[in-house]
Structure 1
Amino acid sequence: MSSNLVPTAFTRWLLAKSRATRRGFTLIELLVAILVGSVIVGSLLYLIVELLGTNAREERLTQSQQDMRRALDYISRDVREAVYVYSTPADVVNQLTDEPAGTPILAFWRLKPIDVSTLPANCPAAVADECNTLKIRHSVYDLVVYIYRNNSDNSLWSGPGRILRYELTNYSNINSFTVTSGYRDPSKPGSSFEGWQRGTGNTAGRAVVLADFIDNHDNSRTVSCPTNLQASPPDGPTASNNFFVCVRDGGDDTDPLNQSLYVFLRGSILDVGSGVALTFGPRSQTSRLPTINTEVQVRGIIEKSQ
């Protein structure tokens, strides 16, 4: 009798244990677990996306800032060698027949060094004076114009706008003293820097892109220049506040031997035309508009009142 009771009790214990082991989660428990897991995973994914977006945005801003700095440094070095700066670029740009489309911002004449060792040892009689002058001066006068152009006209460029550098040099072939079409030396008698007129034929200059990702003109922003300096381009239909310079008026003789320039440049990380950020998107206006400016002292001034 007792031998039958022991296995029966043990069997019941095993069955109860088995039922307790097989007991699963209820539907409510599963829903709560899924909800909590979703919140945790969603929060982690959101954090990862935000970190990636911030990193991409900062990298784009850093790259844009570096591009603006390089462009500004190049312009500063270029204009520092100027001998005559136009207070209104239109004064000389109107003489060009091949000026790239866009808004002229800065125009000046600068001395461009040449290698006089390539010139003939004995100057030809027909160009003796010109040849000997080049050997003494070791340079020629080049006309340089910086232009802003909106990128909506060309899908090749990604940013809202770009800067072009146009240059009209003296000779297309200096060894044969072949003058570039449309060029006239402003230092020769009968010509001048201030009232320069192009030479024979259409001008044949060369234009290259200096920088991309330049911000568009903002009608809500005003241009402010230091005392005795004026904005170039001046206020009006061609005004610009994304890329402009503050230059001394050509008729101002208060500082005849030195001419200060302030160059202002505002970049952008927005895609061309659409206004959509190239990264996950900045959170504020200032986070997508790297702005820099610098002061330049022009080393050489010609045709200024003493």
Structure 2
Amino acid sequence: MNFRKLFLNCWIKTLNNGTGSTTLQQGFTLAEILVAALIGSLIIAPLLGAALQIIQTQRDEEVKANSQQEIQAALQFIARDLQQAVYIYDRDGLAALTASYQTTTCSTPPPAPPATPNCSQLPADVNRVPVLVFWKRQEIENAIALNGGGCPNPEAASETCDDTFVYSLVAYYLVIDDDETWSNTSRIERFQIRDGVRNPVTGDYIDENGDDPDDDIAGLARDRGYLPFGSGGTLDQRFFNWQRSFAENYELNETRRVLVDFIDQSTSTSLPLEACPEPAFTAVPNYAFIPASFQTASFYACVNRAATIARVFLRGNSLARINDDPTPSHSAQFDPFFPRGRVEVRGEGSIN
């Protein structure tokens, strides 16, 4: 019996008191209530389902849009950073600087060739892999007073102080760890150490140790762990052979910052690296020397060392914003939740 027949039978019963006469029935029978509830549920359920579908679709689109915006913002930041580059480490250069991605930081000078180094000149541990590393020429506004000393009040001294430039070493890392502050995916951190400002008259640091009572002048000090690159040999030799200062440790709380979170941690073979146009470009990091968990193809670069050009690739994981337990990995079904971006930049800095 279909619902129409059931409804008509119930209605006839309300009109018939069993003797053929019709009387006014008070209230509703149980059958009537059940039929009404059933009909109501048949109407409301699709409406609720449609409403939930609309809400879920809107949420998904917002998540995807936010992730795409973050990926583009990160690429724009990296691009502005790279525009000041004077030297970008390619596959061979990064292998020399990190001793093929060692996970300990050098605390003493490594052995001289032909011995093989077993530590990295960059900050290193098992949770981080350096991907994009370069030197840049950085402008510091109103840093030097006209008499050669530090500028005591840079914000109000545009007419009494001069700008200057210092060199900085910048490294972008892919990070995968259990830090609950961040997502269960991976993230990108930026590390930077810079040289201190020198007195143009004497050549000495304006503030050697960053302990000047004037905070503005103390801010002109050299970062701990920084040493200038060499001045002898070829350009590659000067940067390949750079060593940190072993007189003090890196101050990672001051020199390392998270750039962007929710970078995809998937290691699926369906997401290979885009081939770099060798021999001019080489890919970093070198997957032959890093753990499989970091072989995500979600943050890497093609570098032309000779031309100071880097082509940077990023892929996010917005699906992890919706459900991060377990952390979702890439699949063809959910590919739209993994926004991608790329940028190619030529470093325009120069070495004095």
Alignment partner of 1:284: what SS?
helix
Unaligned runs of 5+ in 2: 1-18, 99-119, 151-160, 199-204, 210-221
**1:72 maps to which of 67, 72, 75:** 75
Per-residue deviation, residues 121-168 of structure 1 (Å, max 9, x unmatched): 1479xxxxxxxxxx9992111000000112x41111135111100011
Q: Is it true that 1:113 corresponds to 2:139 in the alignment?
A: yes
Q: Which residue number in structure 2 is paired with residue 11 of structure 1? A: none
Task: Say how many residue pairs are matched.
Answer: 266
The one-letter code matched in structure 1 to 2:300 is: F
C-alpha separation in 2, matches of 1:59 and 1:187: 49
Q: Which residue number in structure 1 is paired with residue 202 of structure 2? A: none
Q: How far off is 1:23 after superposition?
A: 7.5
> Where do residues 167-182 of structure 1 align in structure 2 (5 Å cutoff)?
167-171=192-196, 175-178=206-209, 179-182=222-225
The one-letter code matched in structure 2 to 1:294 is: V
**1:37 maps to which of 30, 37, 40:** 40
More displaced stretch, 286-295 vs 171-180:
171-180
The one-letter code matched in structure 1 to 2:275 is: C
C-alpha separation in 1, matches of 2:144 and 2:178: 42
8 Å contact kept, 1:242–1:266: yes
C-alpha separation in 2, matches of 1:184 and 1:74: 25
C-alpha separation in 1, matches of 2:239 and 2:145: 26
Q: Is it true that 1:194 corresponds to 2:237 in the alignment?
A: no
8 Å contact kept, 1:181–1:200: no
C-alpha separation in 2, matches of 1:188 and 1:259: 19
Q: Is it true that 1:92 corresponds to 2:97 in the alignment?
A: yes
8 Å contact kept, 1:92–1:107: no
Alignment partner of 2:326: what SS?
coil
Q: How far off is 1:115 after superposition?
A: 3.4
The one-letter code matched in structure 1 to 2:313 is: F
8 Å contact kept, 2:175–2:189: yes
C-alpha separation in 2, matches of 1:200 and 1:146: 22
C-alpha separation in 2, matches of 1:260 and 1:97: 24
Q: Is it true that 1:268 corresponds to 2:317 in the alignment?
A: yes
C-alpha separation in 2, matches of 1:62 and 1:297: 28
> Where do residues 200-215 of structure 1 align in structure 2 (5 Å cutoff)?
200-205=246-251, 206-215=255-264
Alignment partner of 2:133: what SS?
strand
Q: Over aligned residues, Cα RMSD in angstroms?
A: 3.5
Alignment partner of 2:238: what SS?
coil
The one-letter code matched in structure 2 to 1:69 is: Q
State the TM-score, normalizing by the size of structure 2: 0.65
8 Å contact kept, 1:98–1:204: no
Alignment partner of 1:111: what SS?
strand
**2:228 maps to which of 142, 166, 185:** 185
C-alpha separation in 1, matches of 2:56 and 2:332: 11
Q: Which residue number in structure 1 is paired with residue 110 of structure 2? A: none
The one-letter code matched in structure 1 to 2:343 is: T
Q: How far off is 1:246 after superposition?
A: 1.1
**2:191 maps to which of 153, 162, 166:** 166
8 Å contact kept, 2:144–2:163: no
The one-letter code matched in structure 2 to 1:75 is: I
C-alpha separation in 2, matches of 1:38 and 1:68: 44
Name the % identity.
29
8 Å contact kept, 1:87–1:247: yes
The one-letter code matched in structure 1 to 2:61 is: E
More displaced stretch, 188-197 vs 69-78:
188-197
C-alpha separation in 2, matches of 1:31 and 1:74: 63
Q: Structure 1 residues 193 and 136, CA, compared in 2 at 3 Å: closer, same or farther?
A: farther
The one-letter code matched in structure 2 to 1:204 is: Y
**1:222 maps to which of 267, 272, 278:** 272
8 Å contact kept, 2:230–2:242: no
Q: Structure 1 residues 232 and 263, CA, compared in 2 at 3 Å: closer, same or farther?
A: same
State the TM-score, normalizing by the size of structure 1: 0.74
8 Å contact kept, 2:141–2:163: no
Alignment partner of 2:192: what SS?
strand
C-alpha separation in 2, matches of 1:272 and 1:188: 50
C-alpha separation in 1, matches of 2:126 and 2:81: 19
Unaligned runs of 5+ in 1: 1-15, 125-134, 251-255
Per-residue deviation, residues 181-226 of structure 1 (Å, max 9, x unmatched): 3321115458822321223424425100111111104231221233
More displaced stretch, 23-32 vs 36-45:
23-32
